[in-house]
Structure 1
Amino acid sequence: MTQGHEYFQSCLMPLPDKDLEGPSRLPGWTGRHLLSHLGHNARALARLAHWAATDEPTPMYPSTSARAEEIEAGAAWPVPRLRDFVVEEQNRLTHELDRIADDRWDAPVVTAQGRTVPAATIPWLRGREVWIHACDLPSGGDFRDFPDSFTDALIEDALDRRRGVQAVNIDVRATDRKTHGDDDIVTCVEGPAADLARWLTRGEESPRLRTGTGAPLPQLPPWL
């Protein structure tokens, strides 16, 4: 999580404020929307950390519409304020995580998607956000910069959701990793791990990806 935040900042800092006024790599979002989301996401996850530390139920958002409303409100702020906001809320999240006692890391909390997970999942949820969204900045990061261990975990996380919640019958084989895969899965996509992670989470195809049969890659619904 901390390394991902530092990577996000390394991609953000060189960008002029005017570039963040324009579109990000996420359809319909400016750079300001992206920064607003990252700051408010840290704030929301800090609520879960508080829940775990105190056993006081504090959901990520007070309503189903609150997430989108927070992002839109923050997107109207000046870019310098948004830059500071991301750092301040990351620091707040780290502080709240530090308050969780050893025997509370298994405490159940509920995500914005309604999943009940142990508090130990919170750093993963935040790490996922900062690493991936670094690649959504204008002229931002690259999945190939991610640590191998994080990329591999991200692939497994995305596959679990797509197979479980979305019932998408796919498997992958990373050609730059030890070969793995399930021959009983209908569609297997092969290619470099970074390209697989980008495709599974962003739906972005790469000429380095291919199916074992030569068929086109399946069209994936939004990941989250």
Structure 2
Amino acid sequence: MDWREVIDELDSGVERIVRTLSKLSDQDLRAASALPGWSRGHVATHIARNADSLWNLLEWARTGVEIPQYPSLDARNAALDEGAGRGRDELTEDVRATAARFTEQARTLPEDAWNAPVEAMGGWSHPAWYTVYRRWNEVEAHHVDLAAGYGPADWPEPYVRWSLGGTLADMVALPEKLRGELAGLRITATDSGEAADLGWTPGGPEASGSGRALLGWLSGRTDGSGVSVRPDGRLPVPPPWPHRPADF
């Protein structure tokens, strides 16, 4: 899916997050999210600060002046703790306004800036256009993390197709030591036929399911419901997601 179309998907995804947040009370936002150690307020704050951080990368591409995604990991975490305790209306407006600022930056970025290299907080470089896709993962995955009624079953089909394809390709490119329990596994999407061999050999273990079920499992957003494994046994635990893109 072209990154220009993804910008519209981001707007729709944030609208869904805003609707979810608007149904929660201040007390609900103090409650635990699906992410260990984070309240729903932490997740909402992270969605907003992520928009700011990726705006920084597009500004880097626009101006040629290096701007880090975050000043540091400690600064990022401090901002989350500082913002997590705000009320629903303030959190919701923060998510909405920062998302709009990011997509406005994307829509107005000069054409010749989209291939400019920028750097993720993890230290790897990618062209500016990939920033839009990174934001797509953040919006959809962290909406699930709010643990407020939105799950992988609600993900838009274009997102599932893109993110599953990218996830499988990125895992194939991972060094074996970073594949964790998935090393030696073959993964197959029963609806699209997409597959990833992670060091698999004939007769080795295989996992299969719909693309949506696989993405929920591989992204850590489900326990693997809808995914079957052969030979019968415990479904392996995927490594932390998302992965460094194979192409950069």
**TM-score, reference length from structure 2:** 0.82
Report the aligned-residue RMSD.
2.0
| 1:174 pairs with 2:192 | no
Aligned to 1:193: 211
Greater Cα offset, 183-192 or 11-20: 183-192
SS at structure 2 position matched to 1:117: strand
**Alignment length (residue pairs):** 223
- CA deviation digits over 1:3-22, x for unaligned, max 9? 22122223222222321121
How far apart, CA to CA, are the structure 2 residues paired with 1:155 and 1:84?
Answer: 30
The question of whether the paired residues in 2 share the 8 Å contact of 1:162 and 1:223 is answered with no
SS at structure 1 position matched to 2:188: strand
Greater Cα offset, 55-64 or 71-80: 71-80
How far apart, CA to CA, are the structure 1 residues paired with 2:45 and 2:221?
Answer: 23
Aligned to 2:237: 219
Aligned to 1:115: 124
How far apart, CA to CA, are the structure 2 residues paired with 1:85 and 1:207?
Answer: 33
Distance 1:180 1:34, change over 3 A: closer
How far apart, CA to CA, are the structure 1 residues paired with 2:16 and 2:117?
Answer: 29
One-letter amino acid of the structure 2 residue matched with residue 6 of structure 1 = E
Distance 1:17 1:171, change over 3 A: farther
One-letter amino acid of the structure 2 residue matched with residue 219 of structure 1 = V
The question of whether the paired residues in 1 share the 8 Å contact of 2:144 and 2:151 is answered with yes
Gaps of 5+ in 1: none
One-letter amino acid of the structure 2 residue matched with residue 120 of structure 1 = W
How far apart, CA to CA, are the structure 2 residues paired with 1:212 and 1:87?
Answer: 44
Distance 1:203 1:80, change over 3 A: closer
Deviation of the 1:76 alpha carbon: 3.0
The question of whether the paired residues in 1 share the 8 Å contact of 2:189 and 2:210 is answered with yes
Percent sequence identity is: 28
Aligned to 1:31: 40
